[in-house]
Chain A
Amino acid sequence: MFHGGPVEMNRYERARMSDDDDDEQGLAWETLYDGIVDVLKRFGADDPFGNGDYLIVDDNYGHRRNIVEIHRLHMLRPEIATALRALLGDYPDWEIVVAVDIPGTETAWPRMGLIIRKHEIIDGLQREFLPEDVRKFTYPDSRPGTGYD
Chain B
Amino acid sequence: MVTMRSLLAIDTSLRRLRWQLAATRFSLKLRRFATATKAGFNPDQLRDDYGRWSDGGGLSSRTGRFRSRVTDVSAARRFRPKGHHYADRQLQKQSPEMSTEVRKVFENSTTGKLLDRRSNKFDTPHRVYNDTVKDLFKGFLDKNGIDKKAKGMTAEQARSFLKEILESRDPRIRRFNMLILLREIMHHVPRWPRGNE
Contact = CB atoms under 8 A, between A and B. Distances in A.
Interface in A56-95: 57-63, 65, 67, 69, 71
A12 to B, nearest CB: 6
Contacts of A1: 196-197
Contacts of B7: 2, 4
Chain B interface size, under 10 / 10 to 19 / 20 to 34 / 35 or more = 35 or more
B127 A101 contact: yes
A59 B84 contact: yes
Contact of B127 (A12, A26, A58, A103): A103
B83 A62 contact: yes
A12 B115 CA distance: 8
Contact of B121 (A19, A22, A33, A99): A99
A12 B14 CA distance: 17
Interface in B159-197: 187-188, 190, 192-194, 196-197
Interface string B86-123: 00111000000000000000000010011101101111
Given A25-B80, A69-B126, 9 more contacts: A1-B197, A4-B10, A5-B193, A55-B127, A59-B110, A61-B83, A67-B121, A97-B122, A146-B120
**9 smallest A-B Cβ distances: which pairs?**
A27-B76, A62-B81, A101-B124, A62-B113, A147-B122, A147-B120, A111-B122, A26-B79, A26-B76
